[in-house]
Amino acid sequence: MFVIWIKFLLIWLLYFTKKAITVDPNLYIFRNHVMKKPHSARLAGKYIALDKAHDEPLNRQLYRSLREGITAGLIPAGEKLPSSRIFAANLGVSRNTVIAAYDQLALEGYTSAKRGGGTLVAKAAKAFANREVTDTVPASPVFSNLGLLLQKDLRSDRLEVSHFQTGSPDGSLFPSDLWARLLRRSARLGGDLGGYEHFTGLPCLQEAIARNLVQSRGVVAQPEQVIVVSTAQAALDLTARLFINPLDIVLLEEPGYLGMRIAAEAANATLISSPVDEFGIDVSLLDCKKYKPKLIYVTPSHQYPLGHVMSLERRLALLELAESAGAFIIEDDYDSEFHFDGDPVSSLYGLDHQERVIYVGTFAKTMMPAHRVAYIVVPPALIAAYKGAVRNAGCVPGHNIQQATAWFLEEGFFRAHLRQMTGVYQLRRDQLISSLQAWNNPALDISCPAGGMQLVVKFDAAEIQDDSVRNNGLKQGYDFSRLSPFYLGAHRRQGLLLGFANMQHKNHDAAMRVLKSCIP
Amino acid sequence: MFVIWIKFLLIWLLYFTKKAITVDPNLYIFRNHVMKKPHSARLAGKYIALDKAHDEPLNRQLYRSLREGITAGLIPAGEKLPSSRIFAANLGVSRNTVIAAYDQLALEGYTSAKRGGGTLVAKAAKAFANREVTDTVPASPVFSNLGLLLQKDLRSDRLEVSHFQTGSPDGSLFPSDLWARLLRRSARLGGDLGGYEHFTGLPCLQEAIARNLVQSRGVVAQPEQVIVVSTAQAALDLTARLFINPLDIVLLEEPGYLGMRIAAEAANATLISSPVDEFGIDVSLLDCKKYKPKLIYVTPSHQYPLGHVMSLERRLALLELAESAGAFIIEDDYDSEFHFDGDPVSSLYGLDHQERVIYVGTFAKTMMPAHRVAYIVVPPALIAAYKGAVRNAGCVPGHNIQQATAWFLEEGFFRAHLRQMTGVYQLRRDQLISSLQAWNNPALDISCPAGGMQLVVKFDAAEIQDDSVRNNGLKQGYDFSRLSPFYLGAHRRQGLLLGFANMQHKNHDAAMRVLKSCIP
């Protein structure tokens, strides 16, 4: 008995010497050990430590302390909590503080009112206390079949901006101050920008995109055919989900864009591909009866990754194939805006008279990838389906950025920026090509794309593997994009995809030296 | 012969009197009729009309005119185009203009180079001309099974902001000027905000959210567990895709949130539900052996739509159920931040020791729906899966808005705004309740939610149907949210969900009069 009193004394000392005792479960357990059955009055003085200097309101501190005591089993189920008046006096706080904490505990079910007054710790608390000591091994997820496909990322590339990065514009040349003004202007519209509505895009942006597409791409569409989404990837994913049943066939270009392969795989499609030559995809060898595609994905303006323009003949063959197979075509026009030699190439969408072409565009390259604004132009028969799908998938950009993008287009900044960047990128392409040619390496087959942001260097010597070139680069902090992963089949050309759009003049020579050192 | 010469003369006159003849297919056909086999020299003078005053560059106009002539079959396949020198002279333009137009046609495959010089219209053009007259009936889409589900929108509600709209904050009280400053500041970071990387969220926002959640929701998570997505709907959709195989069971609250039902249906799940009472979802009657859920969706802080807080006992029962079924729980904490009576209720996530809870939060209610920023806090074992899934689904908010949101949180504006709005919404709740109570209508069972943005009025009289109340409202321009559609089963309570957060004082009386007139 005497020993217990000594311990009590020590705890009192501890309490008064330390203004705030942080809530430590071990401390509770120590105390619990001392007093097997804490009485409510003792609880007030010893189990709870409140810090008046702390930001957290006292009632919240009290609530948390009591809750932890309850869930740790230190204040057992059925225990009556002290009356708020006595408790408040013991703690040196106002009675309202205690009442607020009690109310909160009751609200969350930690306590229940006792018939005739008073607050009891709820029975469930005991279950919780018991639960505490049981198995705490993290649960392992069992993903769905499509979920396993959805989380697979085929793109091994690092995403940080680096020299030779593909598809990446030079952000330092984007008119940040102007953009800042437009964003500010949009923010000042406040609630007028809308709430949950406009999930297929702000009408002003739909109109601006439609107007721009008529002029620059020969895509004639009503604004309501334009579905604004956060990224081109979202456009591809939505389209694959809408059309593809497991094992349905998707026809891809060989080599082709990985983003579409991912979207098609996530829908569990059967992937087939047709080879690409300098005229674009060649579907003449495809046995359409045997392999009847449901969706066809192409990049006619500027084939990804090889950079060729699809010829009229091939375009017509493709439209015919789609007709005979009953397929829809995804035309990904990802960087058609940057065209150096000749004007931009017309869209496949403009040639199509059966409304089979789903046109996908993005502002990631013409403005900034970080904006996350892209769009789909869908045939009228598909508007309702995409409208429902976009709302249910929730891949919608914020209204501020949509409004600012609309102004950027409508007020002429977009065209001016494109004009400037096209000039810059053309210079950078020429510089990259002349540097590559200056090496006089017969093993390098250098393409000269008529537009876009990257070029392909194929390795003509069998001993050069793009894998090893990439590994050499990684050692020097460069992540070269390899050509071979873009092939679906076994026959893969080795080579590199070299982005030049983000290659600033000051970095050019050093980057070229690294590149040269990486190619055996 | 004489007649033909007269016609020639007329065309020449037409050409010289009109500076620009717009490109009109009918005109071509008329001319074509005149000259069955147009010679290249004649082509130069008569088939093409260029307008020097027009914005469109001359080479582009020429290219378009020739392309239209080719695709319309007026310049037949195999026809040799005039030499650029003669053509330029005839048209009165520089030779470079003609060369540029020819290059473009060749690039797109409309023409091909003739051995020994000269440009021939390609054979494919003929196929195109023939194609022109064939079937132009729009193709009809055949959607996938999941695609049909994905496009189905269960939410019949109009989305325009209106009185009594649920889940909609008062945008007029959002600090637009401050937001404008933050957006401007973020825009000035330019390229430093990143490019394609950070697709699970800007690190600064992940950190800000994690910090905020520890303090306000008892959610202890590392920043990398926070996955930023565009909308809460995207979070639900992604989660359903990751976990649900067709016919897998998803357990919902009855009544419950439609957004989750949509996401689960889009994954072709089997939906089951357990009833909600004043303590939250009651799973005690669920035969877990027969119906083993894979995912469980709950709104513990503030049940949607009824508004109850889930008790500790029910929380523990739910965690136990999840454990025995091997299920993961989605905790949708959609408006827990607005809490009037007592402090915010703790999260289920904080009680869970098996890392089975996937926490979904959104800034749509605490800031603005139009921002389209939401987040998922996932257990560590799920980070990799969500990372891949978010990148492949592409539902990522723009970096400007992410950065501005991070500052809004970190610099104390978020808490200040919440505090202000909580006060405003509490007043509006009280005002709505006292107005409803003043009617003394015994058929109305009025709930008083401890927080949130809406309350439920149940109809206790069998003759009042929420369908007819809504129809009465539509006639007066009000779209009341009915209670009955939130029920999955046949036993549906009739009632209304009345949003008060966006009910400004000046509109209150008029809105109440309309509401009263709609309830029989």
Contact across the interface for B353 and A143, Cβ inside 8 Å: no
Which of the pair, A39 or A290, is modelled with greater confidence?
A: A290
Q: Is A294 helix (H, G, I), strand (E, B) or coil?
A: strand
Same domain, A386 and A256: yes
Two structure tokens written together for A311:
């010829």
Residue B330 φ/ψ, nearest 5 degrees = -95, 115
Q: How far is B519 from chain A (nearest CA, A)?
A: 27
How close does chain B come to A116, measured CA to CA in Å?
22
Beta strand A481-482 pairing with A454-459: unpaired
Residues A400 and A431 occupy one common structural domain: no
DSSP state of B293: E
From B2-11, B145-154, B415-424, the region with the lowest mean pLDDT: B2-11
Q: Which residue has the higher pLDDT, A331 or B1?
A: A331
Closest chain A C-alpha to B396 CA, distance in angstroms: 6
B295 with B213, same domain?
yes
State pLDDT tens for residues B463-494.
Answer: 899 999 999 998 988 889 999 999 998 889 99
- A107 CB neighbours in chain B (<8 A) are 309, 341-342, 345, 450
Q: Do the Cβ atoms of A191 and B294 come within 8 Å? A: no
User: Is there a single domain that holds both residue A357 and residue A482?
Assistant: no
Give A380's DSSP letter.
G
Contacting residues of B for A326, CB less than 8 Å apart: 139, 142
pLDDT at residue A167 is higher than 80: yes
Domain shared by B386 and B439, yes or no: no
Is there a domain that residue A496 lies in?
yes
Q: Which residues of B touch A179 (CB under 8 A)?
A: 187
Q: Tell me the chain A residues in contact with residue B390 when contact means C-beta distances shorter than 8 Å.
A: none
User: Using an 8 Å Cβ cutoff, are A366 and A208 in contact?
Assistant: no
Last residue within a domain, chosen from A97, A115, A130: A130
Q: Are A82 and A109 in contact (CB under 8 A)?
A: no
Question: Cβ of A184 and B186 within 8 Å?
Answer: no
Tokens of residue A170, six digits:
């030079």
Chain A CB contacts of B397 below 8 Å: 230, 372, 397-398
Min Cα separation A154/chain B (Å): 9
Residue A273: what are its φ and ψ, rounded to 5°?
-140, 155
B104 to A343: CB separation less than 8 angstroms, yes or no: yes
- The pLDDT, as a whole number, for residue A29 is 30
**pLDDT at A160 (0 to 100):** 58
> What is the crossing angle of helices B505-518 and B466-475, to 10°?
120
Q: How many distinct structural domains can be found in chain B?
A: 3
Chain B residues close to A172, C-beta within 8 Å: 190-191
Q: What is the distance in angstroms between the Cα of A53 and the nearest Cα belonging to chain B?
A: 17
Q: What domain range includes position B103?
A: 20-130
Which pLDDT score is estimated for A43? 60
Residue A18, pLDDT score: 42
At B288 the pLDDT is 79
pLDDT computed for residue A123 by the predictor: 74
Please say whether the beta carbons of A400 and A185 come within 8 A.
no
Looking at the structure, do residues B407 and B421 belong to the same domain, yes or no? no
Residue A99: band (very low, low, confident or very high) from pLDDT cuts 50, 70, 90: confident
The span from the CA of B52 to the CA of B61, in Å, is 10
| B393-414 average pLDDT score | 97
Instruction: Read off the pLDDT band of A7 (50, 70, 90).
Output: low
CATH number at residue A108: 1.10.10.10
Read off the pLDDT of residues A107-130 as tens digits, 9 standing for 90 and up: 777 887 776 677 888 777 666 665
* Dist. CA A212–CA B118, nearest whole Å: 35
Contact A174 B197 (CB under 8 A): no
Residue A147, in any domain of the structure: no
Residue A283 pLDDT more than 80? yes
Q: Chains A and B: how many Cβ contacts under 8 Å?
A: 424
Last residue of one domain, picked from the residues A370, A387, A412: A412
Look at residue A38 and tell me whether its pLDDT is greater than 90.
no
Instruction: Check CB contact under 8 Å for B355 and A229.
Output: no
Q: What pLDDT, on a 0 to 100 scale, did the predictor assign at position A70? A: 80
Question: Are A431 and A363 within one domain?
Answer: no
Asked if B147 lies within 8 A of A103 by C-beta distance, the reply is no
Half-sphere exposure of A227 (CA within 13 A, CB side): 28
pLDDT of residue A35: 31
Are the Cβ atoms of B128 and A312 closer than 8 angstroms?
Answer: yes
Contact A473, A162 (CB under 8 A): no
pLDDT at A26: 30
Q: Locate B314 and state its tokens.
A: 């029910």
Query: Nearest Cα to B459, choosing from B480, B479, B428, B474?
Result: B480
Find the mean pLDDT for residues B439-447: 94
Expressed in angstroms, the distance from the first to the final Cα of chain B is 86
Contact A395 B392 (CB under 8 A): no
Closest CA relative to residue A346, chosen from A312, A373, A319, A380:
A312
Query: Could you tell me if B317 and B204 lie in one domain?
Result: yes
| A25-34, A163-172, A193-202, B205-214: segment of lowest average pLDDT | A25-34
Is A108 in Cβ contact with B345 (below 8 Å)? Answer: yes
B261 contacts in A (CB within 8 Å)? Answer: none
Closest CB from B100, B144, B369 relative to A196 = B369
Give domain status of residue A398, yes or no: yes
- Do B227 and B252 touch, CB atoms closer than 8 A? no
* Min Cα–Cα distance to chain A from B253, Å: 18
pTM, two decimal places: 0.83
Q: Which two structure tokens, joined as six digits, stand for B217?
A: 């929701």
Report which of residues A135 and B486 the model is more confident about.
B486
Does A157 have pLDDT greater than 70? no
Distance from CA of B36 to the nearest CA of A (A): 25
Strand, coil or helix: B351: coil
Search chain A and give the residue with CA nearest B248.
A144
Is B199 inside a domain boundary? yes
pLDDT bin (cut points 50, 70, 90) of residue A289 is confident
Domain boundary at A359, A388, A412, which? A412
CB spacing of B381 vs A315 below 8 angstroms: no
Same domain, A108 and A181: no
The answer to whether position A67 is within a domain reads yes
Same domain, B320 and B360: yes
Residue A489 structure tokens:
């089949």
Provide, as residue numbers in chain B, all residues whose Cβ is less than 8 Å from the Cβ of A300: none
Nearest residue in chain B measured CA to CA from A294: B142
